[in-house]
Structure formats: C-alpha cells, structure tokens
Structure 1
Amino acid sequence: MATSPTATSSDFPSELVGKKVLLASESLGPINGVSRTTQSLIDYLRKNGVNVATVAPQYAGQPINANDTKTEVKPERVPIVNKDWVRSIEAKSSSLGSRALGGAWTWHHERDASDKAAQQPLLQPTSSTKRPLMINRSRSEEPKRKVETTTGPRVNPEYRPHGSPLPYNPDLSVAYPFRLGVLYDRTFKPDLIYLASPASVGFQFLVQLRQLRNPIPTLLNFQTDLSHYSTILFAPPMDTYAVVMLQLVQGYLFRSPAVHTIFYPSAYIKSYMVAAGAPAERMQQLGRGVDTTLFHPSRRDDAYRKELAPNGEIIFACISRLAPEKGFEFLARAAIALADSGLDFKLLIVGGNKNAAVEAEVHNYFRPIASRVIFTGVLRGVALARAYAAADVFLHCSITETFGLVVLESMASGVPVIARDEGGPSETVKHGESGFLVPPQDLDGFVAKALELANDSDLRLRMAGKARLQAEATTWDEINLQVARKMVEALAGVPEKSDEQKLREGYYGSWIETVRVYFAVGIVWIFWIIAVIPLFIMGWVHGMAHR
C-alpha cells in the first residue's frame, strides 16, 4: 500500500531519507540527560524519513514487551481439544439419556415408532458437514501475531535486551552478553549504527564490529564519564582498578575501524579520551539543545512560589537524579552554611532514585536543615518546567557531568546558575554573565556567590536575561542536524550493495568472521566476571554500609 511522503526539513540531507539506522543506548526511557538527548535525535531522524531501530536495556518498571499495557486485551487462546467435538459427545450423551428415560414411560403401541427412530443415527450428518476432530489443529492468535510481527515490515522497531539493574541506580541496567545477529533478527540489519553513551551495550557492539572485515559505519556519542563515576562510587583500590579497566577498554574500542565519528560534549572529555587512546582526528564537539518553549520564564507561577516559600524566602533549586555522585553532599554542606549565615531561603530538590537506600542517604545529608528543604520527587513536562522557573538561583554541584543538560534548561527558564567549575557546565555557564563558576572544592566561594545573588535582585535579573538569551541560541534541531550531516559522511565511503549481495553476505560476511564474533562474545562473558560482577558486589557493600 502506498504511503504518503514524509515531510522533511529543507536543511535535512536527502541522502539519509529511507536509510536504516540502528541506534543503541544505555538509557532510553528513564528521565535523565542521556535519555532525553537520545530521544530527541530519534524523533528528529524519524520525522525526516529515516528508519530508526532502537536497542536499549530494560529498566525498572519497563515491561518485557515494549507495547504491553495494563489495558491490552490478550488474544484468545484456542484449546487443544476441539470444542465442536466436545459438543457432539454431549449431544450424543444427552440423546441416549433422554431415550433411556423416555422408553420406560411409553405405551406399547408407541414403541414401534420409537424403535424405528432408535435405529436411526443419533446425529444426522449432512453431506456438507464433517465429523468434528477431537484435536484442534487450528493455530491460536498468539503464535499468528508473533509470526506476523517477525515477518512483517520493520520500520522503527524497538528491542530491549535483558540485563541486571545497577544497585545504586535501578533506572540503568548492565546488558547481558548478546550477538549482533540476534539484534538484527529483532530489528533489521542497518546501513549505519549510532551508539549513545556507549557502555555495556555500546561496548558489545564495538567489540563485535571489530571482528568484521567490512563493518557497518558507526558513530558514537560520549555522554557519560564512567571513569569519574568510578572514583566516587568505589573505595580504594577498586576505584583505581575500575578507571584503568575503563581506559583500556575505551581506548581499544574507540580505535576500531568501524568508528567514523566520536562526538564529545566538552574539552574536558576530549582530553580524557585522547589520554585513553581514542583517535583525536575522528572527534567532533557536539553540544546539547534545549526546548526553549517548554523551559521558559513564563512558567514562573507566583502561587506555586508562595506554596514553596510562604514568607517570601529566596528559592534555590537543584534538579538531578538523587545519587551521591551528583554532588549532594557538597550541596548539603553549602546549604547548612547558608542557613548559618542567617539567610532566609528554601531549597527545592527535584529528582528521585528507585533505590530507596540511596534516596534515603541523600535525604539524610539535609537532616540538619530539613525544614528548609523540599523534595518533590521526579517531575516531568510542564511540572518540571514550573519547578525550574520557580527558582531564583539554580545550584549545580555535580562534577561528573559531561555536559549538564539541567544547567541549560535552567538558563532557558530565566534562572542564573552557580556551578562548580568542572566538566560540562564549565563551558555552558558564562562566568559573570549567565551565572558563576566556582573552583570544584571551594565551598566558601560557592556559598559566597549564592549569598551575592540572593541579596542582589538587580544582579539576578540581569543574569536571568543573559541566561535566557544564551539558551535561545541553541535548539535541538541545530544539534541533531550536525549528527545527520556526519551520518551522510559516514555513508559516503560505503559502496551501495544490492539486496542479493546483502543476503549473500549475511550478518557477518564469512564463516571466519562469524567464528571471531562468537569468540568476542565469549570475551564479553569473561569481562563480566572480572569487571561487572565486582561492580555489583561493591554496590551491594555500599548499600549495606549506608543502611
């Protein structure tokens, strides 16, 4: 059946229209920067006529099948024993029983007629009626549906590999080892692969692509500083062990011939990757966009501000996943110092964590000033935008952010930012214009800048205006167009192949390459034993220690 042409942006490269892109991410669904950035790219590509298959691990609350819903009507299963056969047996039994009872009460002169009737078959089959089969040979609807799903057209399929949730953040899972062929079976064999924030999923793609003579061109976006997380989450000597392992693995995989482009969010991350051995000539800086319509100063709600700060207190805000590595211990110390200074304020903290023990640990940091702190839990959409706009000053204390999307969203909401000068925010906040940057360990300096903004409404207003103007210069379409153009460059060096050639090559090319891929999967299992399992043990120990 003919379909209407997809509307495309005038700037979108036509070479990508109709192409198949397999996008794999470590996080797609939970509310975090990686998930929102990746979903923006998926929507942009699909809107412009690109077929995008997604692969991302299951997460807490994710149904086994992505299309499952609580109200979904399950297809009726057909029983093994044929219902028509059961009815025929019931009919015969009923007929025999009624005749047996009736025969005892008939008169002698009526029995001749009944004897003739008894000589007739119990059921009179017609020429067009077949005797019902005992075993039902027709298929149930469920297998039919599965066959149709497998063999039908796959435009934008989604596949969720199984994995183990991280102990300190159940929203993220470490994917179990898999083969690329299995993923292609569940989605399609792509023209191009895009790896968002490669870790347990992206690493497995790269190690298997390295085994192929003619691998599919691949782009990757480095969005999560796993090495920095390791130094915070793990105690010595596990922190050093984790950093060394990550650098070895990342350096080896990022040098793969399959990798065409490595996107990085900040100069800080580029220097780390070069030190790990990634090729600098394949790197390109890629910022983040922001929805300037959703996150807007007009979302400021005086009634909501009155609810948060009944006595007109200054409102500080922090929006982040609740986890120790997000700098909440530093924020708590700063907030306690602000309270000791005599400043009247409320601290609005938006975010959560499905691990109750981790969430409780973060809450405990603020116990000395509990009356000043408001935890909202996770907010989305307009409710989240209203929380941003309600603040007078945004406090960003994490030093593990490769970009820090929340900083840009706060600026779009017309709220100046005070951030620790490390990682992505160092390149987002313009010191003295849209906010302040403070040395990472300078608690007194951080508190001083918070007091300065809290006590100077004119300065806040000037910085709020500049923050909004800076955010307006960055849109998601501009960012995603940069990715699309790099995708075209990656495809330009790949010769066109007919469907017959693709079918003959299969998923891996030759039997030798197939053996190499299976061997690579075995290596991944070994890596699970020497790296992933210790990670889970350390997470369990961390949880026990903070109960």
Structure 2
Amino acid sequence: VGYDFLLNKGKIPSALKPFTDFIFMHSDNPMTELFLRTFLGTNAERHLLLKEALDKVPKLALEKFLKEPSTSTLGESILALILHSLPAFLAYGQKAEEKKAEEVAKSFGIILKRKERLAYITDTHFEINGVARSSRIIRELAQRYDLPLDVIAVWDGDVRENNLVLLKPAFEFSTPFYEEFKLRVPTLISLLDLLRNYSRVHIATPGPLGIMAFGVAKALGLPTTFTFHTDVPAYAYTYTGSPELMDISYKLIALLCNACERVFTPSEAYKKLLKEKGVKEEKIKVFKRGVDTSLFNPSKKEEDFFQRKFGVQVRGNVVLYVGRVSKEKNLDAFLYCAKNFPEDTFIIVGDGPYREEVEKKKPRNVYLLGYLTGEELAKAYASADVFLFPSETETYGQVILEAMASGLPVVVSSKGASHEHVEEGVNGFIAHSYEDFVEKLGRLLESPRLREFMSAEALRYAQSMDLTETYLDYINKLLGRVGVKV
C-alpha cells in the first residue's frame, strides 16, 4: 500500500523503479530478477526479497561510503540504515496491537501464554575472559538440566551446539585498546527475527549486540534484564584519563539499567556504585558465582611444573597472577613487588595489550606464560605458593576464587570488589598501596606456617561457594522464577 502511494505520487526514482516494481510484484522481468538475486546474493522466495534487500543494503551502502566518502554516499548510508530499522518500528506498532488483542481475549476468559524461553545475549562467548566463561557455564548448565534458554552471540564460523545460537556478523572491528577482541555487529533484521522466538531477554554485555538486543526487546515488548559484569567506564578512564568520558559512560549505563526490569551485579561494592551513579536501588540484585572445585583444587599441584612445562627456573616461592595483561589490571604493582623480592619467582598467566609494556619493565624474576585453560591452568594455580592480584576494577574477581580453591592465600587490592572474597588476615590480605602490597606479600613469603593456615582457610571459603548451585540460582532469577529450584 505504501509503495503504491509513493508510485502514484511519482516519488520512486526512475533508476530504482525496475527493481522496486519487481520486489513489490508490479513486474515480472526475469533479467531484473537475475540482477537482484546476484546483487543481494540470495535465493530467497520472491515475497522475501524486500526483507533481504533491507537486511543487506546498509552494509553495501556503508562500504560504498568508505570507498567514496561524500555527502551523497553519506546520505545513502543514513537512508539505508533508516530503512533497515523500519521492521523494528513496525514490530513495535504490531506489539501494541497484540496487547490490545490480548486484553480483548482476557475479557472473554482466554489467557494467552508465550512459551518460556530466555535469550542470553553476549558479545563474547568463545574468547578467554570472565564474561565469556560465565556464558559457557550457563550454556553447559542449560544442556545438563534442559533449561529453556539459549546463549546468543555473533560469530563468523560454523559452530553448532545445543543451547547456542550464532548470528553472522555484518560488520566486525577491533575494540579500542583491546585489539585482539573483535566487536561483531549483526543485522538488526536477523536479530529481530530471532528474538521473536523468546519470552525474555538478558543482556550480559553492553556491546553492539547487547545494545541492539535491548532495542529489539523493547520493540517486541519482552521483559529485559542486564548484568553489570565489567566496569567499562573505569576502563575508559584508565586508558584515556578523561573523567568526562567516564561520567558520560556511567550515565549511559545508568540509563540502560533503569530501562531494564532487573539489574544484576556480582558484588556489594558495585551495587553501591550503581546506586551512586543513579540506578534505582530496587532494580539492583547481587548474585554470587561459585567455583569449579573439581577442576581447581590443591590435588593438581605438580612438582617442577613450571620448569618442565615452560622452562622457568623457579627460585624461592612462586607468586602467581592470572588474568588479562592490560593497563586496568594494575600490573605495575605486581612488577613493583617482584623488584622487592628478587629471590622469589613471579609468574603471569594471561595475555593482552599491555604485555609488551610489561616485557619492557619486568625484572628478571618475572615470567609471562600466556593464556592457559583447563587442566594446565589448574596445575599452574596449585603449583604456586601465593596469589597476587592487584586489579582495582574488578566487579567480582573469579580468578581469586579459583586461586583459593587451589589452596592459595591471596593478596588483593582494597579497590573494586576483589576484597569481598577476603577476610583480612584469615584467608588473605587486602592492600591499599604499592608499599602495602609489598609488606603483606612479605609476611606470607617469610612464614610457611602463615601460608599453610591461610591456604586452609582459603580452600574452606572456596568450597562453600558451589558453582552449580550459585549459577542455577542466577539462571532462575533470569528466567523470572521466584523460589523455584531447578
């Protein structure tokens, strides 16, 4: 109807008319059809060609703009993006009509129920980081307990697994300050088609996929929740030194949080921070994650593990760090401690954009091993003596729990949420400055009896945090279930 109106008003450009006539069933020119299908790269049925065009034209228009930047190609790109967004606006209008229909049905005693299924949205799933690890655990539990949820990510690969739905990326680019992590953007239409099949949406990351899913969920009228896994505004400040950018980032996060039904954060420290930044307190819920004590435990200790596996000539005690090698992790404090204890061995497990800088600054007793996973990571933990984690931006600190489960006393920063796992002087120490890190680490290195006592207490604490139980409780809350045991 809309096309006929524009056609009668003479608003269709003559260059486009042969193609739009074919798409809207006004002509049957086989050459036009051949050109369109070749141009769009599709064998879809004719009545789906409009959708295919709306899905693919933005990418084509943006690629043209990047090759030939001009006001004309910019205008074409903007128009293409507006047209691409049209189905979402139509869905929003359709949802309003559906609600009216449901109200009419309800007045006749007919209750319409959507089949329960959660879309767990994450911009990172296959990478090595805490958020990706959480999404993998949630998917594994969904498989084991037949839970009504799917993890949804964007990935350019042929991976087919239960409870995992992968969208193809339309665009892909590196994250600022984190070149090895790619941000992948799907088409809005593909995401809209997908989320129609779900009853709830949970956003685990405020990346391109997360933000797009939030908009689509709102258009479809789906209950939406969000987890504040990563302190992105603090990262922005660490890398740019701009308090203005940090403040703007927190305001945007607060807007997202307040527009969601519920906001989850893994620590009391960040519940308080979100409240201070303007998030409504009644929306914020704290969830605790447990640790896999079958994988991480003291029995994985191996004598001469670091020498046999990595050629590290261990001297004295082994002080371990596990995590991303990046500026926000405050690894300069780790190097400062290493310089103060030249007779001991300091090992970094992980990789990231700050590695080159660490390699330049480190003293001889510091070794970087790169990423480790699974059994090798478990052996690295258990074969060390102390876990030193100076990061000041952790929203939880899963690696601290893994270290404790491996029987390591820990020394952590008083900033962020890492210290919430630590009972000062019992299962570890909380440091407030570089000098404090040195003093407290020194007490552990000089006293085997103190290490043994704290090791036992750290293990006891970790064993009280059951991985399966804590994650199932979290999933129940995401599904909107109250007081239900899976």
TM-score of the aligned structures, taking structure 2 as reference length: 0.70
CA distance in 2, matches of 1:48, 1:436: 38
Determine helix, strand or coil for the equivalent of 1:400: coil
Q: CA deviation at 1:347?
A: 0.6
Q: CA deviation at 1:260?
A: 2.3
CA distance in 1, matches of 2:162, 2:266: 32
Is 1:397 the counterpart of 2:398? The answer is: no
CA distance in 2, matches of 1:243, 1:309: 40
Q: CA deviation at 1:297?
A: 0.1
Q: CA deviation at 1:177?
A: 7.2
1:119 alignment counterpart: none
Determine helix, strand or coil for the equivalent of 1:422: coil
Determine helix, strand or coil for the equivalent of 2:253: helix
- The equivalent position to 2:190 in structure 1, one of 173, 179, 182, is 182
Task: Describe the superposition over 1:222-262 as per-residue Cα deviations: whole angstroms up to 9, x where unpaired.
Answer: 11001111111113xxx223212212212222221xx2221
Distance change (3 Å), C-alpha of 1:158 and 1:254:
same
Q: CA deviation at 1:219?
A: 2.0
Q: CA deviation at 1:350?
A: 0.6
Task: Describe the superposition over 1:483-512 as per-residue Cα deviations: whole angstroms up to 9, x where unpaired.
Answer: 2332343699xxxxxxxxxxxxxxxxxxxx
- The equivalent position to 2:331 in structure 1, one of 328, 331, 337, is 328
Q: CA deviation at 1:205?
A: 2.4
Distance change (3 Å), C-alpha of 1:428 and 1:311:
closer
1:169 alignment counterpart: 178
1:350 alignment counterpart: 349
Distance change (3 Å), C-alpha of 1:389 and 1:187:
same
Is 1:22 the counterpart of 2:119? The answer is: yes
Q: Which amino acid aligns with 1:376?
A: L
Distance change (3 Å), C-alpha of 1:306 and 1:261:
same
Task: Describe the superposition over 1:112-141 as per-residue Cα deviations: whole angstroms up to 9, x where unpaired.
Answer: xxxxxxxxxxxxxxxxxxxxxxxxxxxxxx
CA distance in 2, matches of 1:199, 1:385: 30
1:282 alignment counterpart: 283
Q: Which amino acid aligns with 2:475?
A: A
- The equivalent position to 2:233 in structure 1, one of 227, 237, 245, is 227
Distance change (3 Å), C-alpha of 1:277 and 1:207:
farther
Task: Describe the superposition over 1:130-186 as per-residue Cα deviations: whole angstroms up to 9, x where unpaired.
Answer: xxxxxxxxxxxxxxxxxxxxxxx996432253431114223433344742x421435
Is 1:240 the counterpart of 2:231? The answer is: no
CA distance in 1, matches of 2:423, 2:482: 37
Q: Which amino acid aligns with 1:326?
A: K
Q: CA deviation at 1:207?
A: 3.7
- The equivalent position to 1:449 in structure 2, one of 440, 448, 461, is 440
Q: Which amino acid aligns with 1:289?
A: G
CA distance in 1, matches of 2:303, 2:448: 16
Distance change (3 Å), C-alpha of 1:415 and 1:491:
closer
Indicate if the aligned counterparts of 1:265 and 1:285 stay in contact, CA closer than 8 A: yes
2:252 alignment counterpart: 249
Task: Describe the superposition over 1:435-483 as per-residue Cα deviations: whole angstroms up to 9, x where unpaired.
Answer: 00011xx111110111110010010001001101100111221222222
Indicate if the aligned counterparts of 2:300 and 2:382 stay in contact, CA closer than 8 A: yes
Determine helix, strand or coil for the equivalent of 1:375: strand
Determine helix, strand or coil for the equivalent of 1:56: strand
2:49 alignment counterpart: none
Indicate if the aligned counterparts of 1:324 and 1:362 stay in contact, CA closer than 8 A: no
Q: Which amino acid aligns with 2:319?
A: F
Structure 1: unaligned runs, 5 residues or longer: 1-16, 59-63, 69-152, 493-547
CA distance in 1, matches of 2:482, 2:197: 15
How do residues 500-515 of structure 1 correspond to structure 2 at under 5 angstroms?
Answer: none
Is 1:363 the counterpart of 2:359? The answer is: yes
Distance change (3 Å), C-alpha of 1:155 and 1:304:
closer
Determine helix, strand or coil for the equivalent of 1:316: strand
2:378 alignment counterpart: 385
Indicate if the aligned counterparts of 2:123 and 2:209 stay in contact, CA closer than 8 A: yes
State the number of aligned residues: 368
Determine helix, strand or coil for the equivalent of 2:261: strand
- The equivalent position to 2:132 in structure 1, one of 32, 35, 60, is 35
- The equivalent position to 2:458 in structure 1, one of 451, 459, 467, is 467
1:486 alignment counterpart: 477
Indicate if the aligned counterparts of 1:57 and 1:173 stay in contact, CA closer than 8 A: no
1:265 alignment counterpart: 266
Percent identity between the two aligned chains: 25
Q: CA deviation at 1:275?
A: 2.5
Q: CA deviation at 1:325?
A: 1.3
2:149 alignment counterpart: 52
1:66 alignment counterpart: 158
Indicate if the aligned counterparts of 2:192 and 2:216 stay in contact, CA closer than 8 A: no
1:124 alignment counterpart: none
Q: CA deviation at 1:37?
A: 1.3
2:423 alignment counterpart: 430
Determine helix, strand or coil for the equivalent of 1:489: coil
CA distance in 2, matches of 1:317, 1:392: 8
CA distance in 1, matches of 2:420, 2:162: 41
Q: CA deviation at 1:298?
A: 0.5
Q: CA deviation at 1:309?
A: 6.5
2:317 alignment counterpart: 314
Q: CA deviation at 1:52?
A: 3.2
1:12 alignment counterpart: none
Determine helix, strand or coil for the equivalent of 1:290: coil
Indicate if the aligned counterparts of 2:121 and 2:204 stay in contact, CA closer than 8 A: yes
Determine helix, strand or coil for the equivalent of 1:157: strand
Determine helix, strand or coil for the equivalent of 1:228: helix
Q: Which amino acid aligns with 1:251?
A: A
Indicate if the aligned counterparts of 2:175 and 2:183 stay in contact, CA closer than 8 A: yes
CA distance in 2, matches of 1:268, 1:175: 31
Q: CA deviation at 1:191?
A: 1.2
Determine helix, strand or coil for the equivalent of 1:374: strand
Structure 2: unaligned runs, 5 residues or longer: 1-113
Determine helix, strand or coil for the equivalent of 1:302: coil
Task: Describe the superposition over 1:6-60 as per-residue Cα deviations: whole angstroms up to 9, x where unpaired.
Answer: xxxxxxxxxxx973221111211111111111211122123222343333344xx
TM-score of the aligned structures, taking structure 1 as reference length: 0.63
Q: RMSD of the TM alignment (CA)?
A: 2.7
